Chains A and B, each alone.
Chain A
Amino acid sequence: MNDKKLEKLGVYVCHCGGNISDYVNTSKVAEVIQQEPEVHMAKDFIFMCSDAGQKMIAEDIKANDLTHVIVASCSPRLHHMTFQKVVSEAGINPFTYRHVNIREQVSWVTSHDEPAATEKAIRLIRGAISAVVRLQELAAIEKQMIQVGAVIGGGVSGMTAALDIANQGLPVHLIESSPVLGGRTLDLDKLYPYEIPADKFVQNLIKKINSNENIYIHLNTEVVDTAGTIGDFTLKLKRADNKLVNTEEMQSFEIIENESDAINVDELHVGTITIATGFDTYVPLDGEYGYGKSKQVITLPDLIMHLNSYKKKRLEINGKIINKVAMIHCVGSRQIEDVHPLREGATLNNGCSRTCCTATLQQANRLKDMFPDIDIYDLYRDIRTYGEKEVYYKKASENNVIFIKYPDEEIPQVDTNGSLKIRTVDELTYGLEVEVEVDLIVLAVAMIPRAKPRLIETLSLATGVNGFLQEAHVKLQPVESPVDGIFYAGTAQGPKDVRESTMSASATSVKASTLLKKEIVELSPYIAEVNTEICDGNGDCITQCEYNAISIVPIDDGKKQAIITPALCVSCGACVPACKKNAIKLNGYEITTILAEVKAMVKEVIL
């Protein structure tokens, strides 16, 4: 514990361009903080994170020999690293930097009361000051990078991700749970907007994968458990016995035999992990738009598969000649509470699946091309053929597809008794009630997240919007997971089409291969540490650690002691209260530090 009086502490209060300063009197905060005995200088500025703000800190450090810096701005998730880098480049130990969140924790939540918000900001900064005074000089923990990548999922995203890492000259494991590579793209027809046949597209990719010596393919293989951190992840694999099914249909896809037996492993050690586990399609509820009640109600993927091998002049489905088709959008997507039926225990999917509007209209046009006399009714809420995909909407209109816009809250009613009928309200004709008799109803089903809870849990990942994987920053880090060294490629992160999946996959491989090319990876020193003088090795801490970071080892005199593997510790702090002897501390967040912070925060504030 270091209680020496700080000589030079600089505190910077950010306006966040009004985000903070509209609700917090930032100049007052700087003025009050300037009076704190430990503070050498306190300033406020419009955007601390801007180049000008960063330069200000760097120049102050040099001109005033500052030893410690605190920035009070937004969430540390956004800019802790930004400022850590600034102070580090200016010659200060980055681990003595402290970040105070006065935006999410103050201005955004205390926006109704400026004096209270100002006071709160001051208290939080005072807390940080008292913590900074007690900070030890910590150094980053260095460990060896295992320069091998892993990609979980062998669809288009996974294959692209693996290929891009391999092309950078790095070995990569491609792990696929099914017997074939290709994923869901194999179920498609053609890729818009250039109408590339999906099977040819996948075939091409597989050829490249097969001829790349850096890629180790694991088919029929599940990742059953994971451990470790960036630079050294362990993946436990389980290979299923099921043999390749040699159906006629599948032979067209040049399936790779399971040749990876040569590396018959059940455990892999890799430096980075790319998750490309893809999506599932929504299965409509029994009776939802007549699904399950009538054989003439099918899903869009069903229709695509049916048409892919269809040769006849007239469309026949389930023994019925099809003259009239209704296509219904947003089945399982954009769900509204009390309007859309829900499976028991399921959560509402209020998100848009992004691809189904274009895919539906693509198939509508295909039906019109194949069977010109067919009538198509398209029941939609909003047609979302964004960007260049608008041509599919235009072509469908030219093909005389009849568009019926149903209100968000009044979903179409399907009658399966006797002939198949749809009843709905059409907003395009100012609310006319429409009833049409059709031979076929096609449901544009949602993309939903694929359930991989075990993987998510063991890698300490989280799911966000509608159950898709949560990225590190929605806007700025869309392919990075919140855990260092783990990336998301393709639809595991959210609905995407093939091009968008490819792009995200390539983006992950840029990040992954940049990391993998480093020989040393630096880890945060804010980890748990055992006081060997107090620890009696009773093991209470082990049961609390979900990351297998603690082990008990025998020492002299038959005694035992806990040891923490720094690379495995994620600084969660769960072990700290578990130790009844207070033998474990979390560096940077010691109990004494936290108590001192609390004490500093409750001190009276005079504005």
Chain B
Amino acid sequence: MINNEKLDYDALIIGAGIAGIQTAVDLGNMGLKVLMIDKQSSIGGTMIQLSKVFPTLDCASCITTPKMSAAFNHANVTTKTLAEFSGFTEFSDDTFEVEIKQKSRYVDIGACTGCNECADACPVIMLDDGYDEGMGYKKAIGVPFATALPQKAVLDIDNCILCGRCANACSTSAIHFEMKDELLKYRVGAIVIATGFHETQIIKERFGGGRIKNVITGKQMERLLAPTGLSQGIFRPSDSKIPWSIAYVQCAGSRDASIGVPYCSSICCMFAIKQAILLSAAAPLADITIYNMDIRAFGKGYDEFYETARNMGINFVKGKVALIEETETGSTKLHVEVFGEDGGKQEIEHDLTVLSMGVVPQWDALMSKKLPVSLNVDRFVKEIRFSSEPGLTTIPGVFAVGTSTGPKDIVDSIISGSSVAGKVALWLKGELRDSFLVEEFPVVM
């Protein structure tokens, strides 16, 4: 039985993307104390990077920031950024002592006003390969992005030249180059894994292996389209020209055992369709072709969204892209096996090609060492009661939400976050132990 009085927090949530945020808010609303950590300098996860969302075309910032704010300012939720889960001890009373590595921000979060004068003073300009996916620039110090939460500067010590200009510019003397990482320890009653996903990182050799400049990933296009992006327009990386013809290669990082992603990533068809619709507005004269094996518009209102895209003149070609080559002008030449009448092998040129990469769990071997939950064959966190009580892992008291357990879109991540909050609350009441001990699937095979 959990002795709640001993606890620093009722639950620790690892990851502050939309699923973790939803779990935090729901737990907080139930009166439970939550510690939510994220290894990034801002909460918001993948969703805050997006342009708009399907099928409503709501701008992602408009619907993410209020959720971020609701969690961040919730009386029952404590948020720590640049904080990594680094280990735990389990006690006989079903509680955990968790270790969290608080990485140094080099900025005193209490003193920083978020004025961003430090960024203006900083002479180091570098590619932002985090939030902006390499499609924008950032300084070695500054508020991570316009809608970041907390709105506090962060110093990138690896790229800082220690010139001290930021410290001189800072009116509240918030910058401390000597700040050290800290190890924090808390007693918690439950742990929720909400570590999300990243794009498949292997760009196949036959798609250029990452060397063709005008072959970009879906998330990079997302940053080009986002109102919070640097470019404020669509260009292709090699020469900054507006692309007149854009190709989408579906399943570029999924449904392919050769890159270790045999499953379907569930969201790529929809984000490609959404981007195509947005591109029709951002580059109205551009021809857009989506090469696909199957269009998987399976959610509510999604097939209707697909139909809208077709009616807008977006070209859907059933086929498989075998090879992508760079032409002399920097364009991309796709070798495609096109299905359907007059199909067959074809070579088609496009100014820019977007690879719809897959969904791969952020939870990796290193995390598994720190928190040894079992994983399923696809390397997502395994749920021992997959259909009856989703979100229960193989360690009693440890739960998983969102895309940590498998590809999900935003709606399904939110539903997962809410549903697991209920299970966490039950666990904290001292119930649910039996559920953790009985796997549901080996009943009868």
Contacts and interface: CB of A to CB of B under 8 A. Distances in A.
A181 to B, nearest CB: 15
A26 interface: no
A478 B296 contact: no
Interface string A189-205: 00101111100110011
Given A388-B406, A478-B414, A507-B419, A405 B339 contact: yes
B387 interface: yes
B2 to A, nearest CB: 16
A391 B149 CA distance: 40
B441 A502 contact: no
Given A334-B303, A427-B339, A200 B419 contact: no
B228 interface: yes
B303 A351 contact: yes
Interface stretch (B8-16, B65-73, B95-103): B65-73
Interface string B346-382: 0000000000000000000000000000001010000
Interface in A46-86: 46-47, 49-54, 74, 78-79, 82
Given A195-B445, A204-B388, A350-B303, A503 B419 contact: yes
B412 A382 contact: no
Best-surrounded residue of A390, A505, A513 (most CB of chain B within 10 A): A390
Contacts of A389: 264
Best-surrounded residue of A49, A54, A387, A511 (most CB of chain B within 10 A): A387
Interface string B423-445: 10110000100000000110111
Interface residues of B, number: 82
B390 A502 contact: yes
A196 B443 contact: yes
A354 interface: yes
Given A49-B66, A50-B65, A513 B343 contact: no
B59 interface: yes
Contact of B407 (A168, A386, A464): A386
B374 to A, nearest CB: 14
Contacts of B59: 16-19
Contacts of B407: 386-387
Contacts of B62: 16-17, 19, 47, 49, 74, 78-79
A168 B26 CA distance: 14
B13 to A, nearest CB: 15
Interface stretch (B50-58, B164-172, B179-187, B324-332): B50-58
A465 interface: yes
A552 interface: no
Best-surrounded residue of B388, B406, B407 (most CB of chain A within 10 A): B388
Nearest to A506: B419
A167 interface: yes
A495 interface: yes
B301 A506 contact: no
Given A200-B444, A351-B304, A390 B263 contact: yes
A478 B415 contact: yes
A431 B341 contact: yes
A191 B55 contact: no
A489 B61 CA distance: 28
Interface stretch (A258-266, A365-373, A468-476, A576-584): A468-476
B321 interface: no
A221 interface: no
B208 interface: no
A540 interface: no
A492 to B, nearest CB: 12
B342 interface: yes
Best-surrounded residue of B301, B303, B342, B343 (most CB of chain A within 10 A): B303
Nearest to B411: A478
Interface residues of A, number: 81
A474 B339 contact: no
B30 interface: yes
A352 B318 contact: no
B414 A197 contact: no
A407 interface: yes
B266 A427 contact: no
B419 A504 contact: yes
A587 B67 CA distance: 30
Contact of B419 (A47, A464, A510): A510
B147 to A, nearest CB: 5
Given A431-B343, A475-B410, A195 B441 contact: yes
A504 B389 CA distance: 11
A510 to B, nearest CB: 4
A363 interface: no
Contacts of B302: 352
Contact of A405 (B227, B264, B318): B318
B307 A350 contact: yes
Contact of A51 (B72, B296, B387): B72
A51 B411 contact: no
Contacts of B209: none
A290 to B, nearest CB: 25
Interface in A471-494: 473-476, 478-479, 493-494
Best-surrounded residue of A384, A493, A499, A505 (most CB of chain B within 10 A): A384
A46 B378 CA distance: 40
Best-surrounded residue of A53, A196, A427, A475 (most CB of chain B within 10 A): A475
Contact of B406 (A17, A160, A387): A387
Contacts of B67: 476
B294 interface: yes
Nearest to B440: A196
Nearest to A504: B415
Contacts of A46: 146
Interface in A130-148: none
A164 interface: yes
B341 A475 contact: no
Contacts of A606: none
A338 B420 CA distance: 44
Given A16-B62, A389-B264, A394-B262, A201 B388 contact: yes
Contact of A476 (B73, B227, B414): B414
B298 A390 contact: no
Contact of A390 (B262, B376, B423, B443): B262
A274 interface: no
B264 A351 contact: no
A16 B51 CA distance: 12
Contact of B298 (A19, A74, A384): A384
A387 B53 contact: no
A193 B72 CA distance: 37
B340 A407 contact: yes
A430 to B, nearest CB: 4
A303 interface: no
A498 interface: yes
A386 B423 contact: no
Nearest to B114: A52
Best-surrounded residue of B263, B300, B420, B425 (most CB of chain A within 10 A): B300
Given A388-B378, A506-B419, A510-B26, A430 B227 contact: no
A60 B382 CA distance: 48
Given A50-B147, A479-B418, A194 B440 contact: yes
Contacts of B408: 387
B65 A430 contact: no
B147 A47 contact: yes
Interface of A: 16-19, 46-47, 49-54, 74, 78-79, 82, 160, 164, 167-168, 191, 193-197, 200-201, 204-205, 334, 350-352, 354, 357, 382-391, 394, 405, 407, 425, 427-428, 430-431, 464-465, 468, 473-476, 478-479, 493-495, 498-500, 502-507, 509-511, 513-514, 517
Given A479-B415, A503-B412, 13 more contacts: A17-B61, A19-B227, A49-B62, A201-B440, A204-B388, A351-B303, A391-B263, A430-B341, A478-B415, A494-B300, A503-B416, A506-B390, A514-B29
14 contacts: A19-B62, A47-B146, A50-B61, A50-B147, A50-B149, A51-B65, A168-B422, A168-B425, A387-B407, A388-B376, A431-B340, A465-B301, A502-B390, A507-B422
